[in-house]
Amino acid sequence: MDYVLIYFSGTGNTKLISEEIQKRLEKKHHNVELISIESLDRIERLNLQKKVIGIGFPVYKFTYPDIMNKLFPLLKAKQEGRQEDSPFFLYCTYTRFDADSLHNFARKMEKLAFRLIVKASFKCPSNGIASMKSAESYEYSSVMFFEDNIADKLDQFADEIANNSAKYQNSDFRLKHTGKIYDSIRLKIVEDIERTKYPRLRINQDLCNICGLCAAHCPETNLVNMGKKICIIDEFACLHCLRCMHHCPKYAISFGELTTGPQRYTIKVRNKLFDKAASGYKEKYWWDFNSIRKKWKQKTIKYWILHRRWRKTAK
């Protein structure tokens, strides 16, 4: 079977999970092509005939990142003239909730004549918490980990992909999925909260050495290296992947007061945490993670009530 994995990754979690899925499918003697959503030219040139598409992304604001919307017109063009649905599978990475992110994305794919055959979500560390909280704090330790037995879960997911791909070839197999009726309200609340935590993208020109890493890695070219200065196209309309901030070697980039300082989510930190989880270490917070999420929900609603007028205060 031939697979194409298309993914977006802010600071590396989804890229890592995508690579792990690729390795497992290749061990089963499948051909796998891995492509970032930022390589739109490669996606445009793809021949999807007799291939299964896998799509992965991090959960942003309880749904999929806006940058993934760039994929739909490309896939729509490739589906024109086809007489039957094409198979696809979905996966996401999340910090506390995967919410309705997979369902929201699957609905749009199904309108383009794609049929969902398997889905999975993977608990990963938070690049936001990594920049806002100290490693000694409860907020940090209660979310900064990959879920227990993640290697086994990846093995199982790869098995399901292979098995359900075979089922699809011989039947009308389709994975059922449903969303939640209060999803739109939840999305509104979380969007407001994100804007209060990350009010605007700023560069401390006294610290910046104009290395250009932030501009080179920005997935939406919101940062431009002008030679003598890094310019921000829009301080507010930002994807909030936090990639530029975590790549900056001088800690010159911030998204509000909560993100100032030297705490960052690096590839070295990510790999260390993944290897720890994959080796069989049992995280003390994972077994009761539902309780942590429940408390966070309560705090979230209180926070939103206090900060729902953030737009006026931000100005």
CA of residue 158 relative to chain centroid, distance: 19
**17 within some domain:** yes
Q: Which residues contact 279 (CB under 8 A, 6 or more apart)?
A: none
- Strand 202-203 to strand 114-123: parallel, antiparallel, or no bridges (unpaired)? unpaired
**126 within some domain:** yes
Domain that holds residue 19: 2-170
d(CA 49, CA 86): 9
- Mapped onto helix, strand or coil, the DSSP state of residue 295 is helix
**137 within some domain:** yes
**85 within some domain:** yes
Domains in the chain, number:
1
**25 within some domain:** yes
pTM (two decimals) = 0.90
Rg of the Cα atoms in the chain: 20
CATH code for the domain of 114: 3.40.50.360
**Tokens 């309780």 sit on residue:** 291
d(CA 93, CA 185): 22
Q: What is the pLDDT along the chain (315 residues), one digit of tens a residue?
A: 899 999 999 999 999 999 999 999 999 999 999 999 999 999 999 988 889 999 999 999 888 999 999 999 999 998 887 777 889 999 999 998 888 899 999 999 999 999 999 999 999 999 989 988 888 999 899 999 999 999 999 999 999 999 998 887 656 666 777 666 666 666 666 777 777 777 789 999 999 999 999 999 999 999 999 999 999 999 888 888 999 999 999 999 998 887 888 889 999 999 999 999 999 999 999 999 988 888 887 777 777 777 665 444 444
